[in-house]
Amino acid sequence: MGFGNESHGLLSRMAVNDQHGENSAYFDGWKAYDRDPFHPTHNPHGVLQMGLAENQLCFDLIQEWMRNHPEASICTPEGLHHFSDVAIFQDYHGLPKFTKGVANFMSKVRGGKVKFDESRVVMSGGATGANEVIMFCLADPGDAFLIPTPYYPAYARDLCWRTGVQIVPVHCDSSNNFQITRDALERAYKKAEEDNINVKGLLLTNPSNPLGTTLDRETMKSLVTFINEKNIHLVCDEIYAATVFSTPSFVSVSEIIQDMEFCNKDLIHIVYSLSKDMGFPGFRVGIIYSYNDIVVSCARKMSSFGLVSSQTQHMLADMLLDDDFVDKFLAESSQRLAKRHSLFTMGLEKMGITCLPSNAGLFCWMNLRSLLKEQTVEGEMKLWRVIVNEVKLNISPGSSFSCSESGWFRVCFANMDDETVKVALRRIEVFVGKEGEKAKNVIKRRQRTTGLRVNSSSSKRFDESWLMSPHSTHIMSPHSPIPHSPLVKVT
C-alpha cells in the first residue's frame, strides 16, 4: 500500500529538515551490524555491537525481585485486583508510590547524601523526552545552551529539533583529560554574545557520555558559580549516576547546591532516567527534577505528552522503595561494571591501547590517535570504516560526539557477556598487530624513497552512499540498531 508523496511540500519545515539527526555517521555502523550481527555459535565472525550504551549486567537481580513480588504485576493472580485502578490512572502527578520510589532511589544513588522531594519528581518519555521538555521550559526558539564536547550525539535532536534551540559547544580536549575549564566556558559564552546568540543555560552530562568520567567537587562548584554569575540555567543530565564503579565517587549537583550559600536554586534542574542505571530503556522512565517551582509546574503539564505507563509505574514503585533490594542492586551493579571495565581496559593496555581513565559509564573512551594516518575527521572516519568493515566492531567515532580532537572512539562494554568481550579484544589485538606491521613498512618505504611526498587530497575517498541512503527502507531508530528486534522474532 504505497502512496505517492506529491504532498511532500505540504509538511512542516520541521518534518523535512535533517534535525532528527539520523543521517549522521553515528548511525551508519548499525547497518553493518544489522547485515551481519555477531552470534557466538551461529555467526562468530559477525559484527560486534559496541556502539550501544546498554546495561545488561544486572537483569538477574531484577528478575529475582519480580519473581518474589508477583503482586507488582497487574496481570498475575496476586496483582490482578489492582488492574482497574492502575489502568484508569493517568494523573500527571504520577502514582504517589512511584514518585516516592523515584525520589528514594535517586537519593540512594547519591549515597544518601541528598534527599529528594517527591513532589518535584516529574515524569517524561525517557530522558529523551526529559531533555526536550526542559528545553521547552527554559528556552525560546533561537536561544542556545552551552554543552561541553564531546557530547551524546542525539542531543542535537533531543534539545534542538522541535524546540528550535541551538547548541553552542564548549570544547574540551585531551591536554587536561577533557576537563571543562572556566576559560573554555568563558570563551564559548563570549563568542555566543558576539554572535548575538542568547545563551539560556549550560547542560552537563555527569557522569559523562562518552568520557565515562565524573566531575569533581571543585569543578562542579566552579560551574555552579559560573551559571549564577551569568544568571543562566544549569541542566545536569545524571542518567549514568549509578554506573559509577570506582573512585572518585559521584558528586551530584544536588549535593553541591546544599553547601553553596549563594546559589539561586531556581536555576538548577536535573534530568534522570532508569534506562542506564537499571537497564530498562524499554520502559521509558524519564524524570525531570527541578528546584524551580514554575519549571516543575510547566514540565508537569508537558508530561501529558510523555507519561510513564501506569502499569510500569506500579511495577517499579515497590521495587524502588525496597531499600534492601536497592542497596544490594547498586552495590552489585557497581562491582560488575568495575570488573567489566577492568577486563576490557586491561586487555587493551596489553596491546598498547590506552583509554581515558574513567570511573563510570557503560563504555570507555579509547585513544586510537596513533593509528590515524591523518589527524583529521577524514582520517578518523577512514580508520572507523576499517574497524567496522574489517575488524568488525561497531564502535562510535569521536567526531559523531562533536569531539574537536580526532582519533578517539567510544566503545561500549556492558551490553554483552565476558566471552564476547574477549572476542572483541582478540580482534583488536590482531588489527593492532597488522597496523603495527603496516606502520613499520611505511617507515621503511619512506626511508628508501626520501624524495616522495604523499598528497592527501588525492587519496581515494570512501563511497559513503551505501552506508545510509536517505531512501533506505531500513531507517532505524538511533537507539535500536536493528529494525527487527530479537523480541519481535520471539513474539
Q: Would you name the residues annotated as active-site residues?
A: 152, 237, 239, 276
Query: CA angle, 338 as apex, 99 and 421 as ends, to 5°?
Result: 110
Give the shortest CB-165-to-other proteins separation in angstroms.
9
CB of 2 to other proteins, least distance (A): 7
What does each C-alpha distance from 473 to 21, 45, 164, 398 come to in angstroms?
17, 26, 28, 27
CB 136 within 8 A of CB 295: no
- Is the CB of 120 or the CB of 385 nearer to other proteins? 120
The answer to whether residues 215 and 181 touch, using CB atoms and an 8 Å cutoff, is no
Of 148 and 279, the one with the shorter C-beta distance to other proteins is 279
Cβ atoms < 10 Å from Cβ of 49? 23
Q: How far is the CB of 163 from other proteins (least distance, A)?
A: 8
Beta strand pairing status for 393-394 and 144-148? unpaired
Q: Are the beta carbons of 303 and 87 closer than 8 angstroms? A: no
> Smaller CB distance to other proteins: residue 209 or 275?
275
Rounded to an integer, what distance in angstroms lies between the CA atom of residue 4 and that of residue 7? Answer: 8
Contact between residue 141 and residue 163 where contact means Cβ atoms under 8 Å apart: yes
Rounded Cα distance between 286 and 303, Å, is: 10
**Which residue, 128 or 358, is less far from other proteins as judged by CB?**
128
In this complex, which beta carbon is closest to other proteins, that of residue 267 or of residue 428?
267
| Closest separation in Å from C-beta 211 to other proteins | 23
Q: In the bound complex, what is the minimum distance in angstroms from residue 304's beta carbon to other proteins?
A: 5
Within 231-364, residue ranges assigned H as helices are 253-259, 293-302, 310-321, 323-350
Residue whose CB is less far from other proteins, 141 or 352:
141
DSSP string, 419-444: HHHHHHHHHHHHHHHHHHHHHHHHHH
SS3 content of the chain, % helix, strand, coil (to 5): 50, 10, 40
User: Does 210 sit behind a cis peptide bond, omega within 30 degrees of 0 on the bond before it?
Assistant: yes
Residue pair 276/256 in contact (Cβ under 8 Å)? The answer is no
- Length of the chain, in residues: 491
Give me the least distance between CB of 314 and other proteins, in Å please: 9
Nearer Cβ to other proteins (307/428): 307
Contact call for residues 104 and 287 (beta carbons, < 8 A): no
Nearer to other proteins, 171 or 200 (CB): 200
Minimal distance, residue 315 CB to other proteins, in Å: 7
CA distance 252 to 293: 20
Residue with smaller CB distance to other proteins, 75 or 439: 75
Q: How far is the CB of 129 from other proteins (least distance, A)?
A: 5
Rg, C-alpha atoms of the chain: 23
Give the shortest CB-102-to-other proteins separation in angstroms: 15
**In whole angstroms, what is the distance from residue 53 CA to residue 361 CA?**
8
Distance CA 268, CA 266 (A): 6
Phi and psi, residue 204, nearest 5°: -115, 145
Cis amide leading into 96 (omega within 30): no
